[in-house]
Amino acid sequence: MKKILAILLAALAFVSSAQANTDLVLDKFPKERIHDIAALQNGAKLFVNYCLNCHSAAYMRFNRLKDIGLTDKQIKDNLLFPTDKVGEVMKVSLDPKDAKAWFGAVPPDLTLMARAKASHSGTGSDYLYTYLRSFYRDDTRPTGWNNLVFPNVGMPNVLWELQGQRAAKFVEQADPHDPAKKELEFEGFEQLTPGKMSPQEFDSNVADLVAYLQWMSEPMQTQRVRLGVGVLIYLAGFFFIAWRLNAAYWKDVK
């Protein structure tokens, strides 16, 4: 009974934290990247180099990357650790106990993250695209980083070398519901140190990474869409034939 109660309380806490950002305005993810093989390949490279160190993708096998144009040799030479096999799932060697001690929680599996983060505010891809571009320096946090989309997140900015370090600028505003209270309103970012990429290049690479995460959440989605269009065309043709046959059969019936 105590375990069930603990699970329910944890679920309620998760829902409450998820509802805290219901007014969040998300940037639109460029959806065309999902159909760009080069973008997906670059996203896979970024995922393995920057995300797979802590986050697993336990429901995706490396050999599935052949669906985005990579060969076994390319996967082995560029995306695998020496002891991994192409047929293995994307797991990490990070011990869960160490992860909890370092980050406060075990980093979640990312296989279905692009689908799990969908909400009325936008798609899961919109969320991830905004989240990965919203880190800023915060010396009050254990990792030294904070995030506008997920305040007080335990994850550090793993892409900071590419983006550079930024500070968030906030201004005090009167609470519209209670003028006696003050609240902080985000005004913009200030670049502290340059990154290896320009802002435009960084946004483009993040879009590639999110495109890969979206593809990984459902590798058959493009084929499913094509199949769905074909089925609708078939049904439209069948409906036209049935309609004309019905008219021909009943034309002499008064």
Task: Tell me the pLDDT of the chain averaged across its residues.
Answer: 87
What confidence score (pLDDT) does residue 8 get?
A: 38
What confidence score (pLDDT) does residue 14 get?
A: 41
What confidence score (pLDDT) does residue 23 get?
A: 57
pLDDT-above-70 percentage for the chain: 90
What confidence score (pLDDT) does residue 104 get?
A: 82
What confidence score (pLDDT) does residue 82 get?
A: 60
What confidence score (pLDDT) does residue 11 get?
A: 41
pLDDT tens string 205-239: 999 999 999 999 999 887 888 889 999 999 999 99
pLDDT tens string 88-122: 999 888 888 888 888 888 899 999 999 999 999 89
For the record, the structure tokens of 219 come out as 């590798």
- What is the C-alpha separation between 150 and 147, in angstroms, rounded? 5
What confidence score (pLDDT) does residue 149 get?
A: 95
**In this predicted model, which residue has the larger pLDDT, 173 or 10?**
173
Tell me the CATH class for 21-135+199-241. mainly alpha
* Domain chopping of the chain, boundaries: 21-135+199-241
**In this predicted model, which residue has the larger pLDDT, 5 or 238?**
238
pLDDT tens string 8-56: 334 444 444 444 444 578 999 999 999 999 999 999 999 999 999 899 9
- pLDDT of 197 strictly over 50: yes
| Predicted structure pTM score | 0.80
Query: CA-CA distances (angstroms) from residue 82 to 78, 79, 86, 128?
Result: 10, 10, 11, 30
Confidence class of residue 195 from pLDDT cuts 50, 70 and 90?
very high
